[in-house]
């Protein structure tokens, strides 16, 4: 049943009654509901605070951390705007109650060590539960331990919850710091290292959020002096606890946090705080084995405190002397890692506000120059003297042994003995290498003797030497055969850089580079010592120079003044001239510029005009080219005009058209000319051919007649042969048939014989049978006759067919002959016509030639007549008649031949019937057809 | 001002400067009389500048309470006034004494006082240069008394020239050198010895305490090894015969000689404050140096050293290191062969024998160089292995010459 909602007093009274009845859970639930529901009403803090107090008590009693957290959050949101004290009271009460319960639990389990539990947030494992069940003897211990650990966990959760509630709120800042410090003490008291790390992370996160959400209401202003101081105080408490818990990494992070805050803050921090800062850094760097920055921290601390204390001065010098000379980074190999170490040291040096990374040399030199040594103990001063000033390799370890014993008496100084020994050994080998080429290994081991527990065995010393060689600090070789150590004496090796050690004499490599310098110095000192005249001469020269300078100083001063005046005058003149020249040049330049500008203007105008003209011309050209291309394509498609594509750029329509016309005319002209020439040539050739062919034609006619005759004869011969073969075949058939007939007769005879017998037998039996036999015989005879008739008919038909075939063949031959005759006649007529035409041409030419000859002879006759006229004779006339007669005779010979030939052919018509093709001329193209 | 070759920037008259200084002195709390201004006015009325300066000199120690930043300006006013003095040198001397009194009362003002002395030194030019002696005396006194020797050290080398220009007499210069030698002995023993030596050289007739101190310091000093400069000095020659014998042994003798001499002169050593152990150690080092110069092939064995020094062989290395530290010998030891490879050694006496040896070495060196030149003049194509070997030999010869 829900409790009745009403006034807070009623809710509180109800809770008290439930508590009295030992029903804490119900009471807690009632109060929790009241707190949560009251949020919307925005109740006053004073009215809720008693309820919250009771609520917290119940949460602690029942160990309900989460419910407490929820309630506290709700309460804070409801109340933070009105009353901050209420939150603080409730929170403080919460922590106090939790602490009290932890103490009560611990009192119960006072004999049990709580350190067995490493992580409070880890619950018990099944194995531990089984162990608690199995081990009867430990049942009480387990029970007691179970009492303490949960309360520790609860307290830790309480701290976390409260810090989370109080964070990033300016009003709750003081309480936040108090709770944080209380949490630190909790971690320190109960040695909760894991929780301490988480606590540091939590605080760091809160600070980051404070910077991030600086615009939120009630946010922390880190620029405020008191706020910054408060945060620094918190961080220093954190640092102190980290150091006491020996969580060095966390301590280092705290240092970085402090450094960030100090950098962020513009004000100088408090002196006590800064001193604490340096002291913690001193400790952290020592734990990290960073002796360099450890010494630097001591140096800063000494400078900062300005308190001249022997103790501090001792540590400043002691830590500086303990910095390893050989690089202590054992993992160093290539320069990359060395560079990383350097940058890391530079970053760490920033924590000490050092502008640059310190070195062993700078730290020692700085301390000595500021007189720190005067405040040190005698032992520290002796240590410095032996390590850094004196050169005693054979006794350095022996001398330092009492000092080491003295340092071992105090825990603060004993921690420097081991690094100091490394420095001592380094100095030993550095100094030995200056005065020894080779040395016995046993001797070295004796030199490097220390009392227990700080003694070295030979292996360690040998390892030290090898390490020094690797780092480049030494150049030592060990020879185990001779049990000796050799130091490098190469003249041209790079000198080992050990500028911080005492140098007794130069090394061989240094000597080789300063040989000439040493000789020059020696000779100069000898000259100064023994040649007094030389010294006097130099002194006299110096004095003379001084006297000359002194005597001439006034004159020189005047000369300088005069020269200066002259220089000034000349400079003025030069300036004047330069000014004039400059003016002239300026004028010329202006004029030239004007002219150039005018010329430029003109040029620009011309350029523009030219460009426009060019543009117009280009456009026209493009148009013309396009038209030309189109026309060319058109003409090409139509007339087949061949135009070279490359020439199109230079053509236009008119030219193309003219070209076309020209080309066409040219083609026509050339074709006509060619035709004329060909015609002329053909005419001449044809005439020559025909003149030459005339005898050949006659000869060919004869051959053709003979050929025709031969063909006829062969054809006749073949016909006869065919006929003979047919005849023979017929005879053979007859013979064959004759044989068959005989067979038929024989067969028939046999049948007749048999039938006769049967007839007679049958006649004797009956007349019908005889009649039948007689009828049958008559039928047989009929059939026989019929067969003969058929045979004859067949023979007749065959004969008739043969005759018909012959007749048809003959008719075909006749038809062919007639066709041939027709073709021959047509050819002959065509030939005659052609001959006639040719004769006419020849006649015409002959007549022209005759007329020309007559003209010539007439002229000749006239001349001769004129010449004979002088003489008076008539003999040329007969000559003229004679020549004319000869010409006529030639023509006559030709004409009669053709006529006679025609007549001769016309006079033999009867041969056609006998040999149709004998006298006919068949062109060679048709002869094959005829033969076929 | 007439007759001055320097310039002090002042923008007031003498009377105004006097009034300024007097008023400043009267305003000091330590001044109980507060009558400086009145007295100055009285003296100025009678144009008695000397009395004014004397009055100021008696009152200047009051400035020990003045702020440091005001001390230098106010004393600069006095420096300007003192230029008017007819007895410049005397007033400068008294002024220096007054400054020393101020430093005694407030040693924090010493740097400022040194600055004032520097200004005063630079104003003493030409006929007034003699006053520089007093100024330098005060400078040395103050710097050595109040641990400011580092500011004085760079200027020590100019002292002879300055005093010479100042026209200081030989006796005064000698006395000054002795004074400086004593004053700076605790800071720079070497420089102190140099000043003492110069002082002894200035007077050839007197064999006083300075000469004895010079010999005693030279003999006892662990760093002084060459006695030619001292033995040949006329004043040293006037000392006792025993001392001269010791100096002779130190110049060219051996350890045995010294042992013999000590056996006969114990009383003399005690009287002259000679440190027998220090001298014995020095003799051993010098003996090793002599052995090194005579060592064949530049190699000295431990046995020879032990025999000469009458010590065990296991102590030889310690002595060799000390010899190297002293700068007499340069070389490296080889413990396996028990030898010292000598790179450089020092001759204690350079006489005829040494000159002959030097001549031979130089002649050998010259011939080696000439041969090397011949080899280098040959064409490269004719360079042969034999030439290479000869070159190596020349290199060895050169090394030996070195």
The tally of CA atoms less than 13 A away on the side-chain side of residue A914 is: 8
| Mean pLDDT, rounded, of chain A | 72
Rounded to whole angstroms, the maximal C-alpha distance in chain B is 104
Q: What does the alpha-carbon distance between residue A278 and residue A236 come to, in Å, rounded to a whole number?
A: 11
- Higher per-residue confidence, A42 vs A318: A318
If asked whether residues B375 and B334 sit together in one domain, one would say: no
**Model confidence over A136-174: pLDDT tens digits?**
544 445 555 576 778 777 888 888 788 877 777 776 777
Q: In whole angstroms, how large is the CA radius of gyration of chain B? A: 32
Q: What does the alpha-carbon distance between residue B152 and residue A479 come to, in Å, rounded to a whole number?
A: 54
Q: What does the alpha-carbon distance between residue B270 and residue B273 come to, in Å, rounded to a whole number?
A: 5
pLDDT exceeds 50 at position A513? yes
Q: What does the alpha-carbon distance between residue B118 and residue B96 come to, in Å, rounded to a whole number?
A: 11
Q: Which two tokens stand for residue B29?
A: 């709390």
- A-contacting residues in B 323-342 (Cβ below 8 Å): 324-325, 330, 332-337, 341
Cβ-Cβ contacts under 8 Å, B336 against chain A: 438-440, 482, 484
Task: Give domain status of residue B192, yes or no.
Answer: no
Q: What does the alpha-carbon distance between residue A645 and residue A180 come to, in Å, rounded to a whole number?
A: 100
State the CATH number of the domain containing residue B319.
1.10.10.10
The CA distances from residue B297 to B294, B364, B397, in Å, are: 9, 15, 12
Contact: B402, A505; criterion CB under 8 Å: no
| Least-confidence region, from A121-135, A200-214, A527-541, B77-91 | A121-135
Q: Which two tokens stand for residue B298?
A: 């530049």
3-state secondary structure of A651: coil
Torsion of CA A246, A251, A252, A254, to 10 degrees: 180
In A, minimum Cα distance to B331 occurs at: A435
Terminal Cα-to-Cα distance of chain B (whole angstroms) = 64
- Are A54 and A31 a contacting pair, CB within 8 Å? yes
Q: What does the alpha-carbon distance between residue A594 and residue A692 come to, in Å, rounded to a whole number?
A: 100
Cβ-Cβ contacts under 8 Å, B325 against chain A: 391, 504
- Higher per-residue confidence, A527 vs A332: A527
For residue A144, the model assigns a pLDDT of: 53
Q: In B327-384, which residue ranges form alpha helices assigned H by DSSP? A: 352-377
Q: What does the alpha-carbon distance between residue A179 and residue A92 come to, in Å, rounded to a whole number?
A: 8
3-state secondary structure of A172: coil
Of B318, B324, B334, the CB nearest to A437: B334
Q: Which of A389, A492, A505 to mutate to test the interface with B (most CBs of B within 10 A)?
A: A505
Q: Which of B226, B302, B322, B325 to mutate to test the interface with A (most CBs of A within 10 A)?
A: B325
What is the DSSP code (8-state) at residue B333?
E
pLDDT exceeds 50 at position A776? yes
Domains of chain B: total: 3
**Model confidence over A684-738: pLDDT tens digits?**
887 787 777 888 878 788 888 988 878 887 878 888 888 887 888 888 777 777 7
Cβ-Cβ contacts under 8 Å, A440 against chain B: 335-336
Q: What does the alpha-carbon distance between residue A222 and residue A214 come to, in Å, rounded to a whole number?
A: 9
Q: Nearest CA to CA, how far is B72 from chain A (Å)? A: 27
Contact: B321, A504; criterion CB under 8 Å: yes
Of B321, B330, B341, the CB nearest to A394: B321
Q: Is B339 exposed, middle or buried (0-12, 13-18, 19+ CB in 10 A)?
A: buried
Of B317, B334, B402, the CB nearest to A438: B334
If asked whether residues B368 and B335 sit together in one domain, one would say: no
% of chain A surpassing 90 pLDDT: 0
pLDDT exceeds 70 at position B71? yes
The CA distances from residue B108 to A318, A812, B73, B102, B148, in Å, are: 31, 172, 17, 10, 12
Contact: A505, B321; criterion CB under 8 Å: no
Of B321, B325, B336, the CB nearest to A482: B336
Q: What does the alpha-carbon distance between residue A108 and residue A102 come to, in Å, rounded to a whole number?
A: 10
What is the DSSP code (8-state) at residue A496?
P
Q: Does B369 touch chain A (CB under 8 A)?
A: no
Q: Which of A392, A430, A433, A435 to mutate to test the interface with B (most CBs of B within 10 A)?
A: A435
3-state secondary structure of A485: strand
Cβ-Cβ contacts under 8 Å, B317 against chain A: 394
Q: A645 pLDDT band (50/70/90 cuts)?
A: low
**How far, rounded to the nearest angstrom, does the alpha carbon of residue A870 sit from its chain's CA centroid?**
123
% of chain B surpassing 90 pLDDT: 0
Mean pLDDT confidence for A20-45: 65
Q: Which two tokens stand for residue B103?
A: 């430093």
Of B335, B343, B402, the CB nearest to A436: B335
Q: What does the alpha-carbon distance between residue B319 and residue B255 come to, in Å, rounded to a whole number?
A: 14
Mean pLDDT confidence for B227-237: 74
Q: Does B34 touch chain A (CB under 8 A)?
A: no
Q: Does B126 touch chain A (CB under 8 A)?
A: no
pLDDT exceeds 80 at position A562? yes
- Containing domain of residue B288, as a range? 283-345
Of B332, B336, B402, the CB nearest to A435: B332
Task: Give domain status of residue B336, yes or no.
Answer: yes
Q: Does A506 touch chain B (CB under 8 A)?
A: yes
- B-contacting residues in A 477-496 (Cβ below 8 Å): 482, 484, 487, 489
Closest CA relative to residue B371, chosen from B398, B334, B333: B398
Q: Does B317 touch chain A (CB under 8 A)?
A: yes
Contact: A394, B318; criterion CB under 8 Å: yes
Contact: A484, B325; criterion CB under 8 Å: no
Q: A527 pLDDT band (50/70/90 cuts)?
A: confident
For residue B363, the model assigns a pLDDT of: 92
What is the DSSP code (8-state) at residue A217?
T
Cβ-Cβ contacts under 8 Å, B161 against chain A: none
Cβ neighbors of A255 (< 8 A, separation 6 or more) are: A239, A277, A280, A281, A284, A351
- Are B108 and B64 a contacting pair, CB within 8 Å? no
Task: Give domain status of residue B236, yes or no.
Answer: no
**Model confidence over A265-311: pLDDT tens digits?**
655 666 766 777 777 778 777 777 778 778 888 877 877 665 545 67
CB neighbour burial string for A448-472, b if at least 16 within 10 angstroms, e if fewer = bebeeebebeeeebbebbeebbebe
**Model confidence over A791-802: pLDDT tens digits?**
778 777 887 887
Q: Does A723 touch chain B (CB under 8 A)?
A: no
Residues recorded for chain B: 402
- For the packed helices A532-551 and A553-639, what is the interaxial angle rounded to 10 degrees? 80
Q: Nearest CA to CA, how far is A509 from chain B (Å)? A: 13
3-state secondary structure of A487: strand
Q: Which two tokens stand for residue A839?
A: 């004769």
pLDDT exceeds 60 at position A499? no
Contact: B332, A506; criterion CB under 8 Å: no
- Are B75 and B92 a contacting pair, CB within 8 Å? no
If asked whether residues B118 and B65 sit together in one domain, one would say: yes
What is A417-529's CATH topology? Arc Repressor Mutant, subunit A (1.10.10)
Q: Nearest CA to CA, how far is A507 from chain B (Å)? A: 9
3-state secondary structure of A376: coil
Pairing of strands A436-440, B329-334: parallel
Size of interface A-B (CB pairs under 8 A): 44
Mean pLDDT confidence for A73-100: 74
Q: Which residues pair with B331 in a beta bridge?
A: B342
Last residue of a domain, one of B144, B175, B206: B144
Cβ-Cβ contacts under 8 Å, B337 against chain A: 438
Count Cβ atoms below 10 Å from residue A136 Cβ, excluding itself. Answer: 8
For residue A452, the model assigns a pLDDT of: 64
**How far, rounded to the nearest angstrom, does the alpha carbon of residue A689 sit from its chain's CA centroid?**
87
Q: Nearest CA to CA, how far is B24 from chain A (Å)? A: 36
If asked whether residues B18 and B102 sit together in one domain, one would say: yes
Contact: A489, B332; criterion CB under 8 Å: yes
If asked whether residues B335 and B379 sit together in one domain, one would say: no
- Are A71 and A162 a contacting pair, CB within 8 Å? no
Mean pLDDT confidence for A751-776: 74
Q: A203 pLDDT band (50/70/90 cuts)?
A: confident
Cβ-Cβ contacts under 8 Å, A443 against chain B: 335
Contact: A506, B330; criterion CB under 8 Å: yes
- Higher per-residue confidence, A499 vs A775: A775
pLDDT exceeds 70 at position B230? yes
pLDDT exceeds 50 at position A883? no
- B-contacting residues in A 417-476 (Cβ below 8 Å): 435-440, 443
């Amino acid at each position: 049943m829900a409790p009745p909602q009403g006034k807070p007093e009623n809710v509180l009274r109800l809770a008290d009654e439930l508590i009295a009845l030992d029903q804490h859970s119900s009471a807690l639930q009632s109060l929790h509901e009241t707190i949560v529901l009251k949020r919307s009403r925005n109740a006053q803090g004073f009215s809720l605070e008693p309820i919250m107090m009771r609520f917290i008590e119940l949460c602690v009693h029942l160990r309900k951390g989460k419910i407490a957290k929820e309630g506290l959050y709700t309460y804070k949101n409801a109340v933070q705007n009105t009353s901050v004290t209420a939150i603080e009271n409730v929170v403080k009460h919460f922590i106090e109650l939790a602490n009290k319960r932890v103490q009560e639990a611990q009192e119960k389990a006072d004999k049990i060590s709580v350190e067995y539990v490493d992580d409070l947030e880890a619950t018990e494992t099944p194995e531990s539960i089984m162990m608690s069940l199995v081990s009867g003897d430990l049942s009480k211990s387990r029970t007691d331990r179970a009492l303490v650990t949960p309360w520790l966990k609860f307290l830790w959760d309480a701290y976390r919850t409260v810090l989370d509630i109080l964070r990033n709120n300016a009003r709750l800042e003081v309480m936040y710091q108090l709770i944080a410090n209380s949490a630190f003490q909790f971690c320190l008291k109960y040695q909760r290292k894991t929780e301490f790390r988480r606590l540091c992370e939590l605080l760091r996160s809160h600070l980051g959020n404070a910077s991030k959400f600086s615009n939120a209401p009630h946010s922390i202003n880190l620029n405020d002096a008191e706020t910054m101081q408060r945060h620094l105080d918190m961080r220093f408490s954190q640092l102190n606890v980290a150091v006491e818990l020996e969580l060095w990494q966390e301590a280092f992070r705290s240092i970085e946090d402090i450094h960030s805050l100090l950098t962020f803050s513009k004000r100088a921090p408090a002196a006590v705080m800064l001193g604490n800062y340096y002291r913690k850094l001193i400790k952290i760097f020592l734990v990290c084995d960073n002796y360099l920055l450890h010494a630097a921290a001591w140096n800063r601390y000494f400078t900062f405190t300005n308190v001249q204390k022997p103790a501090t001065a001792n540590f400043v010098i002691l830590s500086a002397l303990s910095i390893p000379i050989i690089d202590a980074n054992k993992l160093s190999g290539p320069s990359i890692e060395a560079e990383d170490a350097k940058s890391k040291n530079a970053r760490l040096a920033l924590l000490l506000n050092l502008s640059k990374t310190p070195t062993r040399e700078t730290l020692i030199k700085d301390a000595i120059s500021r007189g720190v040594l005067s405040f040190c103990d005698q032992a520290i001063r002796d240590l410095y003297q032996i390590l850094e000033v004196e050169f005693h390799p054979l006794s350095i370890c022996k001398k330092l042994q009492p000092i080491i014993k003295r340092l071992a008496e105090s825990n603060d100084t004993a921690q420097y003995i081991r690094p100091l020994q490394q420095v001592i050994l380094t100095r030993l080998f550095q100094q030995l290498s200056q005065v020894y080429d080779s040395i016995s290994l046993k001797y070295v081991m004796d030199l490097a003797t220390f009392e227990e527990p700080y003694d070295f065995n030979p292996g360690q010393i040998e390892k030290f030497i090898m390490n020094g060689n690797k780092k480049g600090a030494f150049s030592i070789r060990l020879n185990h055969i001779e049990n000796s150590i050799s130091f490098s004496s190469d003249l041209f090796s790079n000198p080992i850089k050990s500028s911080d050690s005492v140098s007794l004499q130069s090394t061989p490599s240094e000597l080789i580079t300063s040989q000439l310098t040493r000789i020059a110095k020696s000779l100069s000192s000898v000259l100064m010592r023994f040649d007094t005249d030389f010294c006097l001469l130099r002194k006299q020269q110096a004095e003379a120079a001084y006297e000359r300078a002194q005597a001439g100083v006034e004159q020189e001063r005047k000369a300088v003044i005069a020269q200066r005046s002259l220089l000034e005058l000349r400079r003025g003149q030069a300036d004047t001239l330069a000014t004039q020249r400059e003016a002239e040049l300026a004028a010329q330049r202006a004029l030239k510029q004007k002219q150039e500008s005018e010329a430029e203007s003109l040029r620009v105008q011309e350029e523009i005009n030219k460009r426009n003209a060019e543009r117009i011309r280009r456009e026209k050209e493009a148009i013309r080219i396009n038209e030309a291309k189109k026309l060319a394509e058109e003409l090409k498609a139509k007339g087949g005009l061949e135009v070279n594509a490359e020439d199109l750029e230079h053509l236009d329509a008119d030219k193309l058209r003219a070209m076309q016309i020209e080309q066409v005319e040219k083609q026509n002209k050339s074709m006509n000319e060619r035709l004329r020439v060909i015609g002329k040539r053909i005419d001449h050739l044809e005439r020559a051919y025909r003149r030459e062919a005339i005898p050949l034609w006659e000869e060919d006619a004869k051959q053709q007649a003979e050929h025709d005759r031969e063909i006829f004869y062969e054809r006749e011969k073949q016909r006869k042969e065919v006929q003979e073969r047919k005849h023979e075949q017929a005879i053979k058939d007859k013979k064959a048939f004759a044989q068959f007939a005989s067979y038929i007769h024989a067969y028939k005879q046999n049948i007749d014989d048999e039938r006769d017998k049967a007839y007679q037998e049958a006649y004797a039996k009956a007349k019908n049978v005889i009649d039948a036999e007689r009828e049958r015989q008559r039928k047989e005879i009929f059939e026989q006759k019929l067969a003969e008739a058929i045979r004859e008919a067949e023979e007749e038909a065959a004969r008739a067919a043969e005759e018909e075939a012959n007749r048809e063949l003959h008719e075909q031959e006749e038809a062919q002959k007639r066709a041939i005759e027709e073709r021959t006649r047509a050819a002959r007529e065509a030939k005659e016509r052609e001959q006639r035409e040719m004769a006419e041409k020849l006649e015409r030419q002959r007549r022209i030639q005759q007329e020309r000859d007559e003209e010539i002879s007439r002229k000749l006759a006239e001349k001769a007549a004129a010449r004979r006229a002088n003489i008076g004779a008539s003999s040329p006339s007969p000559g003229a008649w004679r020549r004319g007669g000869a010409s006529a005779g030639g023509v006559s010979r030709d004409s009669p031949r053709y006529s006679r030939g025609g007549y001769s052919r016309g006079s033999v018509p009867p041969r056609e019937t006998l040999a149709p093709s004998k006298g006919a001329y068949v062109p060679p193209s048709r002869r094959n057809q005829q033969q076929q | 001002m007439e007759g001055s070759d320097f310039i002090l920037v002042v923008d007031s008259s003498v009377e105004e400067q006097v009034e300024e200084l007097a008023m400043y002195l009267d305003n000091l709390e330590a001044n109980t009389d507060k009558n400086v201004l009145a007295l100055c006015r009285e003296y100025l009325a009678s144009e008695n500048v000397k009395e004014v300066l004397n009055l100021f000199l008696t009152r200047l120690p009051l400035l020990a309470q003045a702020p440091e930043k005001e001390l230098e300006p106010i004393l600069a006013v006095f420096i300007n006034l003192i230029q008017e003095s007819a007895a410049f040198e005397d007033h400068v001397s008294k002024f220096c004494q007054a400054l020393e009194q101020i430093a005694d009362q407030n040693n924090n003002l010493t740097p400022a006082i040194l600055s004032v002395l520097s200004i005063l030194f630079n104003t003493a030019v030409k006929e007034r240069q003699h006053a520089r002696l007093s100024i330098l005396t005060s400078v040395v006194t103050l710097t050595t008394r109040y641990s400011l020797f580092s500011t004085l050290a760079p200027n020590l080398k100019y002292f002879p020239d300055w005093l010479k220009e100042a026209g200081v007499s030989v006796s005064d210069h000698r006395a000054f050198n002795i004074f400086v030698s004593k004053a700076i002995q605790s800071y720079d023993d070497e420089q102190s010895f140099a000043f003492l030596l110069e002082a002894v050289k200035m007077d050839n007739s007197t064999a006083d305490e300075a000469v004895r101190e010079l010999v005693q310091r030279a003999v006892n000093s662990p760093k002084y090894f060459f006695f030619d400069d001292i033995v040949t000095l006329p004043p040293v020659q006037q000392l006792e015969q025993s001392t001269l014998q010791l100096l002779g042994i130190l110049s060219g003798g051996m350890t045995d000689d010294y042992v013999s001499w000590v056996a006969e002169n114990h009383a003399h050593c005690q009287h002259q404050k000679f440190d027998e152990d220090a001298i014995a150690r020095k003799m051993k080092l010098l003996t090793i140096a002599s052995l090194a110069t005579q060592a064949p092939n530049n190699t000295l064995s431990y046995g020879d050293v032990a025999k000469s020094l009458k010590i065990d062989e296991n102590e030889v290395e310690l002595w060799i290191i000390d010899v190297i530290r002293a700068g007499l010998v340069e070389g490296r030891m080889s413990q396996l062969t028990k030898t010292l490879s000598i790179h450089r050694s020092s001759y204690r006496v350079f006489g005829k024998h040494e000159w002959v040896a030097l001549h031979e070495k130089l002649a050998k060196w010259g011939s080696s160089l000439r041969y090397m030149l011949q080899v280098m003049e040959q064409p490269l194509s004719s360079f042969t292995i034999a030439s290479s070997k000869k070159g190596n030999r020349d290199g060895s010869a050169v090394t030996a010459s070195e």
